[in-house]
Amino acid sequence: MMSDPNRMQDPTTQYPKAGPEYKQEQAPPGLETKMDPKPDDGSGSYKGSGRLAGRKAVVTGADSGIGRAVAIAYAREGADVVLTYLPEEEADAKEVVQQIEQAGRKAVAIPGDLKDEAFCESLIESAVKELGGIDILANVAGMQQYVEDIADLTTEQFDATFKTNVYALFWLCKAAIRHMPAGGAIINTSSIQAYSPSEILLDYATTKSAINTFSKALAQQVAPKGIRVNVVAPGPVWTPLQISGGQPQQVLPEFGAKTPLGRPGQPAEMAAAYVFLASQEASYVVGETLNANGGMPTP
């Protein structure tokens, strides 16, 4: 599944709509290498233009999905990349390391659990040591597990979702800002769920709203230091997150059909937003949420 982003196309048909083949199930966290059809990570189409030349980036959740596409795009734009992921996702991460190295950039793979504060702090310290600094932090990793009834939503899951999606964001931003120079950029990941929450994603949607608010507050705090904080809010995007408990199996054949474009997004379509917000082209963009959701209305 691949599309040429440099050729003018009808966005409604640029990628196929979901269908019966989207009904596939994996245990969480899920592997992109086992998906069929596989998401488009941009490896066959993304062309860099030096917009991040010499930059030093940390990308969380970089083994698959949106994080994978962002890591590949950053490398092709000239950045060295530290990628982090769960140890179970090593097979996917190896493919991303290969893509980064083929782009002529340094790849540093650091597996670990973002729910652990000590790991988050050590991740940033390792990035500074391995890359010689950090000036881009792209927080993409997230936990999403649907639960149809609040009576079945356990405190353990609620806590794990917040630790992964919000606490890790706090820990990583706090650690990274200590090292970031003026001109540095933080890009966090919200979701259409922050504005139009699904009843089965009570904990996930709440964290995505929190990410928007956290980011807008932090953006004001660190802007005087010359550090920009912004957010990307994707809509329904075809990633391992969806097939490993993120959505009920019965809805996957219609995944993304309710968007005005009538189809799910692909990770490759998200990557350019993260590149823009990290680049100097976005020098006057601060505290913004860039919605990449196929036309779904947001406030």
Catalytic residue among 15, 204, 274, 284: 204
- Residue 60: which of 143, 142, 130 has the closest Cα? 142
> Could you confirm whether 204 is annotated as catalytic?
yes
Written as one letter, the residue type at 38 is K
DSSP-derived secondary structure letter, 92: H
CB atoms under 10 Å from CB of 12, counted, come to 14
In what side-by-side order are the strands of the sheet with 228-234? 107-111, 80-85, 56-60, 136-139, 185-189, 228-234, 289-292
Report the C-alpha gap between 115 and 88 in whole angstroms.
15
Written as one letter, the residue type at 127 is A
Report the C-alpha gap between 12 and 120 in whole angstroms.
39
Contact predicate 253/37, CB 8 Å: no
Enzyme catalytic residues: 204
